[in-house]
C-alpha cells in the first residue's frame, strides 16, 4: 500500500516551522532558497541555499519530537529518524540540514534534517479519482483521490506527480511506528481512498 505523509490534521500550530525568523514565512531573507524546490520530487539544487528554520514553540517542546512539520507539509526529522531514513530509504530520500533552527528565538543545537523526496512517480488511480481541472485541462486539485496499492518506481519515498503528495511505503511507515518515532499528533500517515484517512491512528 502507498500512503501519503503530511502534517496531522490537528497539529499544533506552534510546532509548524517557517523558513525565517517570522511565523508564516515561506522565504529566507537574503537567500535564494525556494520552498517549492522541496515539492518537485527532484534532488535539491546544488546552488540553492538551505533555509533558516523558525518555530514559535519552546526549544524543550520542539526537541521532544522526532517528526515536526514545516510550511508546505515538509517533514523535519530528528537525527535519530534521519539516520533511520538514510538506512531504509537512502536511495529515494535526500536529508538536508538547515542553516539554523530557532525555537522562540533560542538556537537549537540538536541536529534536524529536512526530508526531500528525490524522485517523482504516478500513483493516483485516475479511474476512481475526481479532479478539478483548469481551462487548459491540467489538474488543479482532487475532490476525491485514490492511490494505487503499488506504482512503478515507488521505492520507499517519492512525490506524486499529479497530487503533489509526499508518498511513503506502508512498509517504511510501519517500521517508523514500530521503532516508536514520535510526532505531536502522530507521524502524519494517511490512506488515500476517496478522502484522506489516518493510518493506524497516526494522523
Distance CA 173, CA 117 (A): 15
Q: What's the mean pLDDT in 190-195?
A: 94
pLDDT over threshold 90, residue 90: no
What confidence tens digit (pLDDT) does each residue in 32-46 have?
999 999 999 999 999
Q: What's the mean pLDDT in 95-122?
A: 96
- SS3 for 116-182 is EECCEECCECCCCCEEEECCCCCEEEEEEEEECCCCCCCCCEEEECCCCCEEEEHHHHHHHHHCCCC
pLDDT over threshold 90, residue 136: no
What confidence tens digit (pLDDT) does each residue in 154-166 have?
999 999 999 999 9
Q: 143: which 3 cell numbers? A: 475532490
pLDDT at site 134 = 81
- At residue 145 the predicted structure's pLDDT band, cuts being 50, 70 and 90, is very high
- Whether 88 and 119 have beta carbons less than 8 Å apart is answered as no
What confidence tens digit (pLDDT) does each residue in 15-27 have?
999 999 888 999 9
Distance CA 198, CA 203 (A): 5
Residue 195, SS3 per DSSP: strand
Q: What's the mean pLDDT in 180-190?
A: 95
Amino acid at each position: 500500500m502507498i500512503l501519503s505523509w503530511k502534517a496531522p490534521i490537528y497539529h499544533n500550530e506552534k510546532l509548524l516551522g517557517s523558513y525565517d525568523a517570522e511565523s508564516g514565512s515561506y522565504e529566507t531573507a537574503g537567500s535564494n532558497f525556494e520552498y517549492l524546490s522541496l515539492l518537485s520530487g527532484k534532488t535539491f539544487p546544488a546552488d540553492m541555499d538551505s533555509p533558516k528554520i523558525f518555530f514559535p514553540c519552546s526549544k524543550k517542546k520542539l526537541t521532544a519530537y522526532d517528526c515536526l512539520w514545516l510550511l508546505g507539509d515538509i517533514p523535519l526529522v530528528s537525527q535519530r529518524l534521519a539516520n533511520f531514513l538514510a538506512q531504509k530509504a537512502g536511495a529515494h530520500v535526500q536529508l538536508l540540514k538547515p542553516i539554523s533552527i530557532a525555537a522562540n528565538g533560542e538556537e537549537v543545537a540538536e541536529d534536524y534534517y529536512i526530508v526531500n523526496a528525490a524522485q517523482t512517480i504516478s500513483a493516483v488511480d485516475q479511474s476512481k479519482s475526481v479532479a478539478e481541472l483548469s481551462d487548459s485541462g491540467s489538474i488543479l486539485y482532487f475532490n476525491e483521490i485514490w492511490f494505487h496499492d503499488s506504482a512503478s518506481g515507488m521505492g520507499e519515498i517519492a512525490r506524486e506527480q499529479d497530487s503533489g503528495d509526499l508518498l511513503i511505503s506502508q512498509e517504511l511507515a510501519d517500521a517508523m511506528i514500530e521503532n516508536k518515532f514520535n510526532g505531536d499528533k502522530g507521524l502524519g500517515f494517511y490512506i488515500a481512498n476517496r478522502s484522506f484517512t489516518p493510518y493506524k491512528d497516526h494522523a
